[in-house]
Every structure is written in C-alpha cells, then in structure tokens.
Amino acid sequence: MLLLKSLHLIFMVTWFAGLFYLPRLFVYHSMSSDDTGIDRFKTMERKLYFGIMTPGAVLTLVFGAWLAVINGWDLYMEQTWFKAKLVLLLLLAGYHIYCGKLLKDFNYDRNTRSHVWYRWFNEVPVIFLIAIILLAVYKPL
C-alpha cells in the first residue's frame, strides 16, 4: 500500500511540474518572434505535454483510483472531502486538456493571447494544488 501511495505522489509531482512549466513556456513562446525560438518552444511544449504531463496525469489518476479501491471506494464516496477532491481533479483534468488545446494553437501558429494572459493562466494550478492537498491532509468536510 505504501508503494502505491508513493507512486501516486511521485506522478502527482511529475504532473504538477508540467502544469507549472508548460504555461510558463507559453508566456515565453507568445513573446518570441524569431523562427528558431518559436520552433524550439514548439518542440519543448510538445515533449513536455506528451512525454511528462500526460503520463504523469494518467498514472496519478490510476494509482489514486487504485488506492481508493483498496481502501474502500464506498467509504470514500460517503465523505464530502473526497467528493470535493474528485471535483477538483476533474477541473484539473480540464485545465490539462485546455493546455493541450493551447499547445495545438501554438503549433499551428494560431495563438491569439498575450504573454500577460499566460502569466495569469500559469497561476491556476497553484490554486488546485493547495486545495487538493488541504482536502487530502485535513479531510475537513
């Protein structure tokens, strides 16, 4: 069980590293004007999204669900804090998918947003991380 919990946490950290870094790359990409720099950002963004973020997200959810099943899914579903955590995870998955849409827009040179917008967008995962950790640790509801 401790191995599953460890794997869940390792991949959660991996996923969040990508969630923090990809929008930061978008900031710099949106400010870039030279073809070499733009191509470099496209490569970095693609590798981060498909090579680190998405596997991290999938494995976080797999090991988290496995832990919940082992510990009694029915018992967890009776607890409000767990339901709140699941809602936040669904919203976070939506953020992840939206990052993929933005990545595609950049890849096809269709970005319409400013670096300032991406700077604010970059802060969103921090809110999710704080809320999810507090729910999992304190189980307040």
- Tens-digit pLDDT profile for residues 35-72: 999 999 999 999 999 999 999 999 999 999 999 999 99
Angle at 104 between CA 112 and CA 32, to 5 degrees: 50
**Cα separation of 79 and 109, whole Å?**
45
**Cα separation of 120 and 128, whole Å?**
14
* Residue among 54, 128, 126 nearest 84 (CA): 128
Minimum mean pLDDT range among 20-24, 73-77, 84-88, 109-113: 73-77
In degrees rounded to 5, what are phi and psi of residue 33? -130, -15
Locus of tokens 């794997």? 7
Tell me what percent of the residues of the chain surpass a pLDDT of 90. Answer: 98
Looking at every residue in the chain, the average pLDDT score rounds to 97
Please check whether residue 53 is in contact with residue 19, taking contact to mean a CB–CB distance below 8 angstroms: yes
Is the pTM above the cut of 0.75?
Answer: yes
The answer to whether residue 141 scores a pLDDT higher than 90 is: no
